[in-house]
Structure 1
Amino acid sequence: MIGQHHAKAKTLGPRAAQLFTELNERHRSTFTVADVEAITGLSAASSRNLVLRIQRNGLITRLKPGLYNLVPFELGWATEHVDSPYLIAQELVGTAPYFLSHGTALELHRMVTQPIFTICVSCTRRVRPQTVGGYDFRFIHIAPEQEFGVTKHWIDKERFVIVSDMERTIIDGLRHQAFAGGITEIAKGLWMKRDVLNVERLADYALRLGVGAVIRRLGFLLEHYGLAAASTLERLHVALTATYQRFDPLLPAEGAHVARWRLQLNVTPEELDAVRLG
């Protein structure tokens, strides 16, 4: 694809041809003005001018100031194209460690029953929410020691992004339900993938993260759905303090208290049981 761009770029001069050749070598379809400077050796102003000329010729699309992606050759005369939002997310975090997470990871692992439109990214760098190429991106700040439980998701044969594995996705959802469609969506994902999820790994991740509310919610769900051995439940149970937490922090503090897991169950048992029927 980029080789065909190279042929068209030759008419724009050697710098444009050099840019597309190097992007091809790096398997990059999304790039920044800083990349153009580094590849061509041009000044910032000259790099911006080069990008503007290439954009006018329909070879690239501007996603936001300073960020662009290539228009695939097979689109013919189209001059607007937005690449995979997952690759855009990778560009937005720069060199900082990151992984696609929460609702986005649920979708990538096919653990949802409804589409999720916000791209969620966990990152060790603080990045503001933004809309790029028509996609909404939300960034969840994590400490470096919280970067675990990740895997590769291949966009195509040459490009991949980092995503939380299924177990980490469940744990993150139990911590930040608002980014994952709510507690019942997490319960659905847990039930849908019950035959392939590693329950011991789920417990390991919850204890490693060390967030009491997550340990409580995971223990309760695993016990409610009969998915864990008694020894696994005990590992989670002994880590609890006397403090009570709401099962769903997005809902009011009402409902019965579950003493075993130090939880206020503010969703109905019927809602949780309905997950099995989905």
Structure 2
Amino acid sequence: MSREQLSQLLRDSPSVLTAGEAASTLGMTHTAAARRLAAWCRAGWLARVRRGAYVPVPIESASADIALEDSWSVATAMFSPCYIGGWSAAEHWGLTEQIFGSLCVMTTKRPRNRNPVLRKARFELHTVAAANFIGLKTVWRGGTRMHVSDPARTVIDMLADPTLAGGIRHLVEMVGSLLRDQPKEAAKLGVYAGKLGIGSVFKRLGFLLQRDHPDQGALIELCRQNLSAGYAKLDPALPADRLATAWRVWVPATEAREVQP
């Protein structure tokens, strides 16, 4: 009966199993379900992700010490409401060829540990307000439905926080890739920037467009019209001693190439 129950649970449940889901599916109390999951873990049929959460161990696996098959599905189960964003979304949409070693998750949660490692998979968690869940696409991984920021929203998130791109060099690459390869997505940049209302986004985007893509006249003008008071750094993680006055942005010497007036 126990193995039959596990088979039923794996058929009807998402990729990450919890006591609540097991109790609902198997018609038992939460306590009984938690004990049953722990017993299956001890038997080597499940692997513990963290307290109260398990993933199935493939039949062909010689050990329960397994890596996660799909970190996206686990992120959705562990950190919802959330979406996959930043460099991970950029990889998904082909905006970069850079390989990053962790999954970037944008979540409404405020976890104490923002860099958890679950079954050998590294996650980096960033908090975002539920009201800012715009510009998302639905994707399926196995039987799990999840969200990922669309290409334009991915770039806007990175403009708001360049660490989500892995730094300004990668951000410059991804802006160029979007404008070159996905012009329909590029048209959404101004829309998302306006809805999110983050002043530094218009400053960074305007500066980069005028410097690297001066043909984007309409979008440059939109950025100019939405400049807020105060100054921002092009990349807050780097020292910056050059001021691009027109865009109210401090620029590292390595990025202070000539900008057309």
Aligned residues: 254
The AA in structure 2 aligned to 1:64 is: R
TM-aligned CA deviation for residue 56 of structure 1? 2.9
Deviations 1:87-130 (A, max 9, x none): 11011124x3x111112212222323332122221122323322
Segment of structure 1 superposing worse, 215-224 or 127-136:
127-136
Q: How does 1:21-36 map to 2 (within 5 A)?
A: 21-26=8-13, 28-36=14-22
Correspondence for 2:221 among 228, 234, 243: 234
- State the match for 1:207 in structure 2: 194
Q: Which runs of 5+ in 1 are unaligned?
A: 1-12, 274-278
Matched, 1:167 2:135: no
TM-aligned CA deviation for residue 22 of structure 1? 4.0
Correspondence for 1:223 among 202, 210, 225: 210
CA distance in 1, matches of 2:9, 2:257: 54
Matched, 1:245 2:229: no
Query: 1:170 touches 1:189 (CA, 8 Å); kept in 2?
Result: yes
Correspondence for 1:87 among 73, 82, 88: 73
* Identity fraction in percent: 26
| 2:188 counterpart SS class | helix
Q: 1:272 to 1:140 in 2, by over 3 A?
A: farther
TM-aligned CA deviation for residue 260 of structure 1? 2.0
Query: 1:61 touches 1:80 (CA, 8 Å); kept in 2?
Result: yes
The AA in structure 1 aligned to 2:232 is: Q
Q: How does 1:88-107 map to 2 (within 5 A)?
A: 88-94=74-80, 96=81, 98-107=82-91
- State the match for 2:244 in structure 1: 258
CA distance in 2, matches of 1:169, 1:272: 27
| 1:138 counterpart SS class | strand
Matched, 1:48 2:42: no
Q: 1:270 to 1:218 in 2, by over 3 A?
A: closer
- State the match for 1:5 in structure 2: none
Matched, 1:18 2:2: no
- State the match for 2:52 in structure 1: 66
Query: 2:156 touches 2:189 (CA, 8 Å); kept in 1?
Result: yes
Deviations 1:138-183 (A, max 9, x none): 3222222211011123324x43421111111111111122232101
Q: 1:221 to 1:142 in 2, by over 3 A?
A: same
The alignment yields a C-alpha RMSD, in angstroms, of 2.4
Q: 1:227 to 1:36 in 2, by over 3 A?
A: farther
CA distance in 2, matches of 1:30, 1:242: 46
Q: 1:84 to 1:147 in 2, by over 3 A?
A: same
Q: TM-score under structure 1 normalisation?
A: 0.82
Q: 1:25 to 1:41 in 2, by over 3 A?
A: closer
- State the match for 1:146 in structure 2: 132
Q: TM-score under structure 2 normalisation?
A: 0.87
CA distance in 2, matches of 1:39, 1:230: 57
- State the match for 2:166 in structure 1: 181
The AA in structure 2 aligned to 1:206 is: A
Q: 1:169 to 1:142 in 2, by over 3 A?
A: same
The AA in structure 2 aligned to 1:79 is: A
CA distance in 1, matches of 2:240, 2:52: 46
